[in-house]
Amino acid sequence: MRGKVIIGGIIALMVLIGVVVNQRRQIVEIRKEKATYQRNFETATSGLEAYRNANGELVAKVNALELKRNELNRYSEGLEQDIKALNVKLKNAKAAKVIEYVYIYKTDTILITETAPNRYFASLTDEWIKLEQWISVDDKPSIDSLSLEVRDKLTLIDEVEYKGWWFWRKPIGVKLHLKSENPYLNIDRMESIEFRK
């Protein structure tokens, strides 16, 4: 009889330990989810930080969102369609970066030379932009062909941000840095999304 009570007590103790361990694991998971939602909220409200450095190069920074794959559709349906259009399986994707930009070049003068009667060639060339066009002036002026070449070098770097020190250091987020050498580049929107399971 006494052996049955001891065995029953040991089984009850093991069940109790299992419940406590499971509850602890769930609490840790909930805390991670809460921290992720907090970082995503801060990221979504912080926006894009862009400036020009001393060399006139555009430098921009944005924090990365951390989304589950099933949350992507609610956040950005267009991005999910783009991923499918690229023939990438969403379950195999690690991250996505979206950058919307425009090149703005303003000038006062474009060199136009007459090459034949009623036929002109206009060009504008510098280190970053090459514009060439043929203009015909018969009844109305018209552009026959237009060639625009824009050179740029974009550098994208993902920086992992950590919290803690030494052994207790753990990653808390990712920040995307972008650098452009073309002085005419203006970034309208930049976002980085890290997929998590």
Return per-residue pLDDT of the chain as tens, 197 residues: 788 888 888 999 999 999 999 999 999 989 888 888 888 888 777 778 888 888 888 888 888 888 887 788 777 778 888 888 888 887 788 888 888 888 888 887 788 888 888 888 988 888 888 888 888 888 888 888 888 898 888 888 888 888 888 888 888 878 888 888 888 888 888 888 888 77
Question: What is this structure's pTM?
Answer: 0.65
Q: Where are the domains of the chain?
A: 1-46, 49-197
Residue 164 has which token pair?
A: 């803690």
The DSSP H or E segment spanning 57 is none
Quote the CA–CA distance of 195 and 161 in Å, as a whole number.
Answer: 16
**Contacts (Cβ under 8 Å, ≥6 apart) of 17:** none
